[in-house]
A and B are shown apart, each in its own frame.
Chain A
């Protein structure tokens, strides 16, 4: 019933109404996009790497002579195996959340007419597939004959394990087993499909999908040396890694230990997402600050209007308005202003999203975030206006009428 009067009165206060609605619309736009970015970051941080992170660590050495790689590998692997608590050691080319390993564009034909995207290749010796804890969903694990020496970057004509996501991307709806693809001057044949195996830098700019990787069985040698995967009990990891680093250096005193990369996978993952965590905190801070200032703006304007309309409120009370009528008046008014702000905010949110897409390669804001943002602001608005509105409803008719 009162909506008509509220609207009529707001028409007489267009500027203040517009300004507060504008603030609300900004809050709405930023809120929707920030929440979406936060959810995306959190989702990215939760990625399933497809390997037994809690049980894995890696040691990286450099500065050795490639000609003596076989001897070097043998010495280091032997030393690592003798560290107390180490269950298994393998030679690999890289790990998820570690530095980029072998990465290349692939084609579905030898001439790359059909480009398949940029993917990560994880090379590993005959212990690696087991040590990683790869989860096979179809096909088979590499057999002893599948392990071949690395020619330049990868073994020639290698059989590979491919992730389900990548297989679905390359051959949608088809059985990937036995299929071939080309890359790194050679060809590959799919022998098994993995549930997951994330790229080394998930969310990084090159691979379109964080799960576009393959595992390539290989034999350690001059082109596969210096990086080792250690498997141990999760609760033993910190000590094992400390001792493993020392043991590796002792076994290869002239090599250089990469202290950034030689850690447990849990720790590598933690540092890999450090900036994402900072960004989430920052965005959350922005959201809270924005909602706070918006709430304060609403409280401020509503309080000002209550004071300004003291006499009016008293008059309304004299004319028969109950306290509830006065309370509702301010609640309806707030609802209308916030709704107007939300309407503007939706357009703004969409515009902001398009701009973010263009500049930062983030996906378009899903429409589902709009009603969530709207609901949040409606609730915020009603909470913010409650105190001034209650104050208004407590104004007694006499005192208000006396103030001429």
Chain B
């Protein structure tokens, strides 16, 4: 589903060159639930942004869903993002001026889907996250947990091949975090591939596979696919 080989990402500013990723190798198979952990600044977000075609990389190769995406232009990457990838952000990133229904509708419209299909998908997705009764609500009228569920519904409505989440529970209390995690696991069981960055070792340990990144490199990865629980150092 997602294959990165010998990838590097260098940020250049006037004074410094930051090697956010170096010799980065990762292979995520279809249907996996992979969590990504690592110290702050280790390159987790950088990896996820590249995986989601939000950012480009400096060297290496990236094959997404069987397609080499290394040399795509901005337009092609936008279209691919729209069709294949669902994002869940730490800050929810719902559009504040639109109600929930319209928030879910926006990416579907970019895809030029027919009205009836859009409505079907939106209703299904909102029902799946338990927000069917709130579709006329605006983001500011919802709790943090509800907003994140709405954001998940927005990703689901696109029927993405790959769901990417960057600390989706980072802004939630532990109760709501667990709800969101349960929801993601449900979604994964239904067949979606998920890659989730998290700081929370408890959540990380619930995934089939936890990839640990240090200094822009994969430090630990039970790459054979067996579930190998591992004490996680760092913040809890």
Contacts and interface: CB of A to CB of B under 8 A. Distances in A.
Given A5-B106, A316-B106, A322 B97 contact: no
A5 B54 contact: no
A395 to B, nearest CB: 12
B221 to A, nearest CB: 25
A8 B98 contact: yes
Interface residues of B, number: 31
Given A398-B55, A401-B89, A8 B109 contact: no
Q: A8, A315, A317, A319 — which one has the most chain B CB atoms within 10 A of its CB?
A: A319
Contacts of B90: 404
Interface string B82-119: 11000101110101111100100111011110000000
B98 A9 contact: yes
A312 interface: yes
Interface string A310-326: 01100111111111110
A325 B110 contact: yes
Nearest to B101: A8
A98 interface: no
A186 interface: no
Interface string A28-69: 000000000000000000000000000000000000000000
B110 A321 contact: yes
A113 interface: no
A205 B96 CA distance: 61
B139 to A, nearest CB: 11
A398 B78 contact: no
B96 A312 contact: yes
B78 A320 contact: yes
A5 B109 CA distance: 10
A329 to B, nearest CB: 10
A202 interface: no
A50 B57 CA distance: 80
B79 interface: yes
B110 A8 contact: no
Given A316-B106, A318-B87, A322-B75, A8 B82 contact: no
Contacts of A320: 78-79, 81-83, 107, 110-111, 158
Contact of A319 (B49, B75, B110): B110
A311 B102 CA distance: 17
B38 interface: no
Nearest to A320: B82
Contacts of B97: 8-9, 12-13, 312
Q: Which 3 A-B pairs have the closest CB atoms?
A: A320-B82, A9-B97, A319-B107
Interface of A: 1-2, 4-5, 8-9, 12-13, 311-312, 315-325, 396-398, 401, 404
16 contacts: A8-B97, A12-B97, A13-B97, A315-B89, A316-B106, A316-B110, A318-B52, A318-B87, A319-B154, A320-B111, A324-B75, A396-B55, A398-B55, A401-B54, A401-B89, A404-B91
